[in-house]
Amino acid sequence: MNSKECTKPDIITADTTKERNRCLDFFKGIAAICVVFVHVSFPGKFGSCVTAVGSCGVMLFFLISGYYAYGERDQMSSRLMKRFRRNLLITLIAVLVYFAVSYYQHMHVDHDLKFWLRTFNSPRFYLRMIYCSDLEAITGDPLWFMFALLHAYVIFWVMYKLRLNKYAKFVMPLFILLRIILETYKYKVNGDWRICSNVLVAAMPLMLLGFCIAEWKDKLMKVPALIYAVCGILALIILFLLIRNDPFRYNITQIFKLLVVVSAFLFAQKKPSLRLFPPLDLLGSACSLHVYLWHMPVIVMLYPVCWSHSLTTKFYDWYFPLIVAAIAIMISILIAAVKYIAKKLLTVRKKQRQG
């Protein structure tokens, strides 16, 4: 979400016509780190609370993408396709990296390379990968987010082409209700996580909500920032209490996760220049996508190394998640630095040619 036309994916960029929203960058930085702790979690209720924040982070990324999918029909059709192509390239690169890491794992750790490679002989694998975001064979479960985002961009593009964008505010509540119902059902029956981790249940409800927030921005910005802050904090407290005590037969945490995400986003829109913690601002602005994409390969590569040293349970419960997060952040910073330097060099060469 940037002031300039940038090369970063939508989930880590901001409005291209305004200055950076530092407050939103802060929330994105927290979200990126907590998503890591969803896949390598801390123990007990503390771990469950951190995981809840991580799931809120994914919701926030979808909300942001939907917010910046709002605009003039003629402009947004081309912008959405540009974002689709950009994120498709990133997704393909990520799939190749995950495949390479899994190849190494099955060759040197599991020693079942031939058996594993047979997985890719089946057309069913590729159909499930494209339509169900099923990349378990390459330990690529986090990539479901990228596939859902790509599918959503296509849906929004069709929506603009058919002039259906004016109906977004009517279908948005239905998608939100669908999400709450299916999340509750999944919790009730301990169902497959893919029931809710797809474009219809995960992406569209939040992106349509973000789209509608952009449409209603003038009215929503009249509400004091303090109201959004209090609402978000209360929703977060209730969320943690529900996780800690689990007083109901059905999981109603999804309602309060939505409140947390919307409150944080609207607060950030009211206070865009607020810098709550600069290091997290920087992480959220330049590295949040990279932390999300590359933490799983870090887990896959690091876990056998740690396991071979017969480390204690305490290490895996408390230190391993922190080590994974730290390495993922360092990799992300390195990638961001390389991209920045490459962009500067290209700019200098372009000026030299013009001169």
Q: How confident is the model at residue 232 (pLDDT cuts 50, 70, 90)?
A: very high
Q: How confident is the model at residue 189 (pLDDT cuts 50, 70, 90)?
A: confident
Give the pLDDT mean for 288-307. 93
Using an 8 Å Cβ cutoff, are 50 and 42 in contact? Answer: yes
Residue 194 has pLDDT above 50, yes or no: yes
Using an 8 Å Cβ cutoff, are 171 and 128 in contact? Answer: no
Residue 161 has pLDDT above 50, yes or no: yes
pLDDT at 355: 67
Tens of pLDDT, residues 52-106: 999 999 999 999 999 999 999 889 999 999 999 999 999 999 999 999 999 999 9
pLDDT at 2: 39
Closest CA to 176 of 207, 198, 147, 149: 207
pLDDT at 308: 85
> What is the distance between the alpha carbons of residues 150 and 83, in angstroms, rounded to a whole number?
9
pLDDT at 68: 96
Residue 14 has pLDDT above 90, yes or no: no
- Give the least confident one: 39-48, 106-115, 240-249: 240-249
- Give the least confident one: 3-7, 38-42, 288-292: 3-7
pLDDT at 5: 37
pLDDT at 188: 84
> What is the distance between the alpha carbons of residues 175 and 352, in angstroms, rounded to a whole number?
52
How far from 162 is each of 203, 213, 276, 315, CA to CA, in Å? 20, 21, 42, 55
Report residue 274 as tokens: 């607020």
> What is the distance between the alpha carbons of residues 136 and 95, in angstroms, rounded to a whole number?
11
Give the pLDDT mean for 189-202. 92
Give the pLDDT mean for 321-347. 94
Residue 352 has pLDDT above 90, yes or no: no
Using an 8 Å Cβ cutoff, are 228 and 263 in contact? Answer: yes
Residue 19 has pLDDT above 90, yes or no: no
**Identity of the residue numbered 225:** A
- Contacts with 132 (C-beta within 8 Å, 6 or more apart), sequence order: 194, 198
How far from 94 is each of 99, 108, 143, 288, 338, CA to CA, in Å? 8, 21, 8, 15, 17
Residue 242 has pLDDT above 70, yes or no: yes
Tens of pLDDT, residues 127-139: 999 988 899 999 9
Residue 126 has pLDDT above 50, yes or no: yes
Report residue 92 as tokens: 């393909």
Residue 171 has pLDDT above 70, yes or no: yes
Q: How confident is the model at residue 6 (pLDDT cuts 50, 70, 90)?
A: very low
pLDDT at 253: 92
pLDDT at 307: 87
Q: What is the DSSP string of 198-252?
A: SIIIIIHHHHHHHHHHHHTHHHHTTS-HHHHHHHHHHHHHHHHHHHHH--SSS--
Closest CA to 28 of 56, 8, 66: 56
The share of the chain scoring above pLDDT 90, in percent, equals 79
> What is the distance between the alpha carbons of residues 29 and 276, in angstroms, rounded to a whole number?
11
Q: How confident is the model at residue 198 (pLDDT cuts 50, 70, 90)?
A: very high
pLDDT at 310: 85
Tens of pLDDT, residues 245-273: 877 667 889 999 999 999 999 999 999 99
Please state whether the predicted TM-score (pTM) of the whole model is above 0.85: yes
What stretches of 246-319 show up as alpha helix (H) in DSSP? 253-270, 278-286, 288-307, 313-314
Give the pLDDT mean for 163-169. 95
3-state secondary structure of 303: helix
> What is the distance between the alpha carbons of residues 250 and 183, in angstroms, rounded to a whole number?
10
Give the pLDDT mean for 197-218. 97
By CB atoms closer than 10 A (0-12, 13-18, 19+), residue 203 is buried
pLDDT at 354: 80
